[in-house]
């Protein structure tokens, strides 16, 4: 231990890795808070601004390497690049993302005094909010797992996101870790009290679940989520019929209530729109739609992921879109949404003029980049009204998931989490739950291999299909809550909370003088 303490950058690296254990699937919130508190002490004790930056950067490298370890799994499906490259890619991503906690550490160090007092902690929290928000927006943004997401299993604390949003909640998490600093440095009795508080935080997720025993009327609209458990490796060019049959088998039968049947992203390979050149189709789009409609009742609708194409003529594909299509019981298309926030290296290759000569390519098979849609939009579905759509990665962007001029009663989030290994799916689900809390809207998730779920407007899980399990769930459509404060104000709340924390820190310092 003494050897480790002699190398504060190495200790910061290890503390960053431990702090990542606060996220799903481990959900060790107490360990994360202690690790962050220990890192804050190291930053405060740094002998120079440069040393503080180094300790901040090392923490970020450890934190994001562990946090994004699922990133490697995407390379297992890419023939153009060896899978081992995925390990280097995960570390390379962490080397970039570590810049943001480094900046927060540098700002906080500039505000330190002889002991790590309240102003130091408050400035640290404000700086974390600012840098975490920048991480979510710079260079198209990488908003995966803001720190506030660790509270999703602890419902009373996660509920604060409905007021202030995830980024501001991340700042309060830093402040909570900072509040442990006096206890860490004091007597054994206080350490015992600290341990009791941390145990309570760890036990809280087990106590926060309350099953819903109410029974809605039989004609209440229902949601049926289908998860075929077909991995990325099982969806080749010749597997389209087998995949479609698996989806149809689990789509159930019509009942007395209208149903919205939802299928995942990335499983229907057949084109669903008419009017493409004949050479595009293996079989007519109308035939595929009629087969899909065969499992629908007269008031049922189905939403599925698919690909939309546009052409320069009869020979050349001009563009492709990652889309969601709505199909009615007659086999007619009644709506389409195009994904707006595309994944770099997954759905398009940034800087192709530089990266292609280096032998790099997209992780998704194919040479055609997707083009983005116009942003958060609703589909208006007969019998169900407006539904907001967020495809896969789009759901992680706090404050950017709802059409502000036309708030829908719920969101549909089809995803292809088969790329994400074992850690990615539960982390993706946790972030979707945070969006439900922020917006006060139910969210329906459908993925090929899990974790598919129906999420209530307060973030609770109404129904789930476990990871790597074939199945379906059918439940009444959960009710939306009244618009939350965050849904009205958006990420201005992050700026407000950060400014308030900084102002309080300044006020405390001036009063002491």
Band of residue 201 on the pLDDT scale cut at 50, 70, 90:
low
| Residues classed as catalytic | 265, 339, 392
More confident residue, 511 or 161: 161
Q: Please say whether the beta carbons of 126 and 498 come within 8 A.
A: yes
pLDDT-derived band at 314, boundaries 50, 70, 90: low
Query: How far is the C-alpha of 463 from the C-alpha of 196, rounded, in Å?
Result: 32
Burial bucket for residue 314 (CB in 10 Å: 0-12, 13-18, 19+): exposed
**Other Cβ atoms closer than 10 A to 117:** 19
- Cα–Cα dist 145/351, whole Å: 26
Q: What is the pLDDT of residue 238?
A: 62
Query: In the prediction, which pLDDT does 405 show?
Result: 84
According to the model, what pLDDT value does residue 82 have?
Answer: 63
Does residue 78 register a pLDDT over 50? yes
Q: Any idea which of 73-82, 165-174, 200-209 has the lowest mean pLDDT?
A: 200-209
Ranking 56-65, 142-151, 418-427, 454-463 by mean pLDDT, the lowest is: 418-427
Whether the pLDDT of residue 36 is over 80: the answer is yes
Residues 6 or more apart whose CB falls under 8 angstroms from that of 25 comprise 422, 423, 426, 427
* Interval 427-437: pLDDT, tens: 999 999 999 99
Q: Where are the beta strands (DSSP E) in 456-501?
A: 461-465, 471-476
Q: How far out from the chain centre does Cα 24 lie?
A: 11
Chain segment 359-388, per-residue pLDDT in tens: 555 555 556 778 888 888 899 998 889 999
Report pLDDT for 206: 47
């Amino acid at each position: 231990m003494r050897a480790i303490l002699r190398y504060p950058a190495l200790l910061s690296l290890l503390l960053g890795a431990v702090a990542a254990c606060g996220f799903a699937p481990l959900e060790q919130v107490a360990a994360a808070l202690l690790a962050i508190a220990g890192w804050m002490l190291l930053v405060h004790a740094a002998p120079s601004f440069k040393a503080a930056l180094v300790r901040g950067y090392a923490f970020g490298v450890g934190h994001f390497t562990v946090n994004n370890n699922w990133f490697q799994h995407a390379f297992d499906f890419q023939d153009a690049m060896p899978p081992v490259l995925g390990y280097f890619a995960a570390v390379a991503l962490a080397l970039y993302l570590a810049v943001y906690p480094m900046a927060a550490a540098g700002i906080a160090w500039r505000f330190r005094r002889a002991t790590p007092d309240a102003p130091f902690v408050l400035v640290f929290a404000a700086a974390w909010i600012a840098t975490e928000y920048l991480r979510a927006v710079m260079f198209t943004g990488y908003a995966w797992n803001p720190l506030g997401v660790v509270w999703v299993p602890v419902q009373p604390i996660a509920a604060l996101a409905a007021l202030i949003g995830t980024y501001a909640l991340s700042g309060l998490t830093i402040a909570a870790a900072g509040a442990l600093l006096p206890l860490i440095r004091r007597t054994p009795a206080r350490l015992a009290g600290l341990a009791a508080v941390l145990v309570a935080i760890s036990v809280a997720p087990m106590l926060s679940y309350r099953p819903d025993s109410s029974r809605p009327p039989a004609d209440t609209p229902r949601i049926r989520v289908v998860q075929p458990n077909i991995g990325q490796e099982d969806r080749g060019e010749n597997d389209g019929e087998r995949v479609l049959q698996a989806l149809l088998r689990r789509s159930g039968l019509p009942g007395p209530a209208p149903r919205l049947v939802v299928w995942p992203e990335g499983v229907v390979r057949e084109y669903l729109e008419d009017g493409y050149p004949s050479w595009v189709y293996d079989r007519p789009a109308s035939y595929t739609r009629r087969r899909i409609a065969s499992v629908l009742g007269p008031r049922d609708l189905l939403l599925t992921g698919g690909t939309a194409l546009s052409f320069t003529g009869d020979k050349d594909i001009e563009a492709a879109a990652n889309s969601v299509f709505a199909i009615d019981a007659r086999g007619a298309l009644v709506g389409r949404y195009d994904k707006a926030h595309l994944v770099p290296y997954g759905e398009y290759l940034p800087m192709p003029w530089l990266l292609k000569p280096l032998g790099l390519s997209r992780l998704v098979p194919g040479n055609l980049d997707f083009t983005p849609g116009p942003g958060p939009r609703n589909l208006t579905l007969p019998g169900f009204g407006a539904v907001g759509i967020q495809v896969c990665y789009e759901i992680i962007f706090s404050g950017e998931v709802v059409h502000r001029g036309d708030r829908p009663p719920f969101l549909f989030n089809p995803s292809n989490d088969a790329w994400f290994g074992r850690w990615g799916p539960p982390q993706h689900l946790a972030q979707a739950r945070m969006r439900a809390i922020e917006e006060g809207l139910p969210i329906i998730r459908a993925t090929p291999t899990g974790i598919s779920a129906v999420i209530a407007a307060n973030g609770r899980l109404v129904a789930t299909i476990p990871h790597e399990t074939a199945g379906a769930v059918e439940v009444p459509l959960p009710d939306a809550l009244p618009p939350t404060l965050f849904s009205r104000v958006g990420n201005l709340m992050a700026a407000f909370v950060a400014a308030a924390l900084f102002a309080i820190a300044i006020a405390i310092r001036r009063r002491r003088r």
